[in-house]
């Protein structure tokens, strides 16, 4: 969203909500339909109660002038459109680079489309930077006014390396231990000896206060299980891709906004848990590089779309994507033929339909689609023979009808299977009817049909060139002229 979140940017959100009252407007302007100031307003009494100087109109007016550029940038971005997905940006970069190495003339015509995607992403990135800097500026202005508040930076407790932990790691190195558990020790830093235990197979660093993992993690060449859940990580090092034997990785409950692309090089991964973070996308090529992945947990993030490569995870048996912002599934989702459990619940207003290939998930046993905006199940739904557990609650379902839904999963499958058979029979009947008409009509019918096809092709050709300004007109086909 382009509106500063009151939870993340409380001061900025509050000040922008107050902008209309800072300067008097002419009557005509006051009655206009402009939505120039439509920031979600935080609960004013709550923030004013926490920051009493916000009652000073002069301070708020100064703050308003200080953040005017945020509102201007936001207005421009609202006109231009939403930020493209990470996969769209990745593909745009890749295709742009590829075409620049190939035919120069064709690349010049095509790259305008991709360039616009990249420029739009850069503008959104610049806007986010403006928002962050504005919030910092407002906090400083408030703190400068509130002279009674100290400016201590903390006492530094926990910054020094824990001697007990150093001892544990040294003992593990000396004895060649395979398992080390450092969970719940309030660690903020990892000691130098961290990456020097070559025989280590299992490392548990969960429930600490780690804000970073050093590159030396690459030294744990034989590591098979790594638990980094419930820390303060905002990123993972690229060197994590060197853990070629890693089978289980959990980074649940951190502050990750993205996963490093090299994570796709952990080809032995069987289970990956990145739930409860701030991810808005997954690495574009994640599905091409993880042939052994069986369990993928991405719930409780802000993911808007899944990369199309995810359809290549042929070993995937369990996928949990609930509580995200998914706008749909990749068209080829049916290629996940090993999938047994799928949770797509609580994507709320974003998830409205499922692709027709959904019926190819023939090993699916459990499916949760609750709390979405799905109006109709795909026609192929009746082919999910192994489905025994289904949750469709809190959807505006029209197909199948409510009385069928209330009868349970078997009734739903039977209804959708009968519907699918009727669709196939109707298509076959139409096909047979067309064949009979052609046989009965003889030469005249076939000639008329041929002429209709040729005309259709010509119209399609014209429509393509007219509807797509980026598509260059092809040279006129002399043979087509001759036939017409």
pLDDT value at 118 more than 70:
yes
Residue 43: which pLDDT band, with cuts at 50, 70 and 90?
Answer: low
User: Contact 384/360 with Cβ under 8 angstroms?
Assistant: no
Q: How many domains does the chain have?
A: 1
In this structure, is residue 293 part of a structural domain?
no
In this structure, is residue 421 part of a structural domain?
yes
In this structure, is residue 396 part of a structural domain?
yes
Residue 5 DSSP code:
P
In this structure, is residue 24 part of a structural domain?
no
Q: Note the pLDDT tens digit of each residue in 209-251.
A: 999 999 989 999 999 999 999 999 999 999 999 999 999 999 9
Which regions of 318-361 does DSSP assign to beta strands (E)?
318-320, 341-343
pLDDT value at 360 more than 80:
yes
In this structure, is residue 387 part of a structural domain?
yes
CA distance 47 to 34: 27
pTM: 0.65
> CA neighbours within 13 Å on the CB side: how many for 198?
1
User: Contact 177/202 with Cβ under 8 angstroms?
Assistant: no
User: Contact 349/327 with Cβ under 8 angstroms?
Assistant: no
Residue 196's pLDDT is what? 83
388 three-state secondary structure: coil
Residue 2's pLDDT is what? 64
In this structure, is residue 369 part of a structural domain?
yes
Outline where 247-369 has alpha helix (H): 286-289
Q: Which residue range is the domain that position 370 belongs to?
A: 312-324+339-435
CA distance 230 to 303: 20
368 three-state secondary structure: strand
Q: Note the pLDDT tens digit of each residue in 242-281.
A: 999 999 999 999 999 999 999 999 999 999 999 999 999 9
Burial, 70: exposed, middle or buried (Cβ in 10 Å; 0-12, 13-18, 19+)? Answer: buried
Residue 279 or 176, more confident:
279
In this structure, is residue 82 part of a structural domain?
no
CA distance 381 to 379: 6
In this structure, is residue 346 part of a structural domain?
yes
Q: Note the pLDDT tens digit of each residue in 79-99.
A: 877 888 888 888 888 888 777
Instruction: Identify which of 390, 388, 366, 365 has the alpha carbon closest to the alpha carbon of residue 377.
Output: 390
Q: Note the pLDDT tens digit of each residue in 386-422.
A: 999 999 999 999 999 999 999 999 999 999 999 989 8
Residue 105's pLDDT is what? 66
Residue 132's pLDDT is what? 79
DSSP string over 184-250: TS--SS--GGGG--TT--EEE--SS------GGGGG-TT--EEE--SS--S---GGGGG-TT--EEE
User: Contact 185/165 with Cβ under 8 angstroms?
Assistant: yes
Lowest mean pLDDT among 6-10, 15-19, 141-145, 340-344: 141-145
User: Contact 248/224 with Cβ under 8 angstroms?
Assistant: yes
Residue 292's pLDDT is what? 96
CA distance 257 to 86: 12
Instruction: Identify which of 361, 407, 369, 406 has the alpha carbon closest to the alpha carbon of residue 387.
Output: 361
Number of H helices, E strands in the chain: 12, 10
CA distance 276 to 455: 56
249 three-state secondary structure: strand
Farthest-apart Cα atoms in the chain, separation? 98
CA distance 184 to 176: 23
pLDDT value at 127 more than 80:
no
Lowest mean pLDDT among 116-125, 225-234, 291-300, 396-405: 116-125
């Amino acid at each position: 969203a382009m509106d500063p979140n009151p939870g993340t940017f409380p001061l900025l959100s509050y000040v922008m909500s107050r902008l209309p009252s800072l300067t008097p407007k002419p009557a005509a302007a006051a009655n206009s339909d402009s939505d120039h100031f439509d920031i979600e307003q935080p609960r004013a009494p709550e923030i004013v109660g926490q920051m009493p100087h916000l009652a000073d109109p002069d301070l708020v007016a100064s703050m308003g002038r200080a953040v005017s550029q945020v509102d201007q940038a936001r207005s421009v971005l609202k006109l231009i459109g939403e930020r493209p997905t990470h996969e769209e940006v990745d593909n745009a970069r890749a295709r742009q680079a590829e075409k620049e190495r190939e035919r120069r003339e064709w690349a010049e015509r095509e790259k305008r489309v991709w360039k616009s995607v990249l420029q739009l992403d850069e503008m959104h990135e610049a806007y986010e930077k403006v928002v962050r800097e504005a919030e910092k500026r407002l906090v400083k202005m408030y703190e400068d006014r509130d002279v009674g508040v100290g400016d201590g930076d903390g006492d530094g407790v926990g910054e020094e390396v824990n001697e007990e932990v150093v001892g544990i790691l040294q003992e593990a190195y000396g004895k060649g231990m395979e398992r080390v558990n450092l969970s719940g020790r309030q660690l903020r830093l990892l000691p130098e000896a961290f990456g020097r235990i070559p025989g280590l197979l299992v490392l548990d660093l969960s429930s600490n206060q780690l804000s970073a993992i050093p590159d030396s993690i690459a030294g744990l060449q034989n590591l098979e299980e790594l638990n980094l859940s419930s820390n303060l990580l905002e990123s993972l090092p690229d060197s994590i891709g060197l853990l070629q034997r890693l089978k289980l990785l959990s980074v649940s409950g951190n502050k990750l906004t993205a996963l490093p692309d090299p994570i796709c090089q952990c080809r032995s991964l069987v289970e990956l848990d990145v739930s409860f973070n701030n991810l808005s996308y997954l690495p574009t090529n994640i599905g091409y590089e993880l042939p052994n992945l069986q369990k993928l947990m991405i719930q409780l993030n802000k993911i808007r779309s899944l990369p199309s490569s995810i359809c290549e995870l042929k070993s995937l048996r369990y996928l949990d994507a609930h509580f995200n912002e998914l706008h749909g599934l990749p068209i080829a989702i049916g290629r996940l033929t090993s999938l047994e459990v799928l949770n797509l619940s609580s994507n709320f207003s974003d998830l409205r339909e499922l692709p027709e290939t959904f019926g190819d998930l023939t090993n699916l046993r459990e499916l949760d689609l609750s709390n979405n905006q799905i109006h109709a199940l795909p026609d192929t739904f009746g082919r999910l023979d192994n489905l025994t557990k289904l949750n469709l609650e809190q959807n505006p379902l029209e197909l199948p009808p409510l009385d069928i839904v209330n009868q349970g999963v078997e009734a739903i499958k039977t209804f959708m299977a009968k519907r699918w058979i009727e669709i196939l029979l109707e298509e076959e009947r139409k096909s047979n009817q067309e064949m009979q008409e052609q046989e009965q009509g003889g030469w005249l019918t076939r000639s008329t049909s041929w002429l209709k096809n040729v005309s259709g092709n010509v119209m399609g050709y014209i429509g393509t060139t007219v509807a797509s300004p980026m598509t260059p007109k092809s040279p006129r086909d002399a043979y087509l002229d001759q036939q017409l």
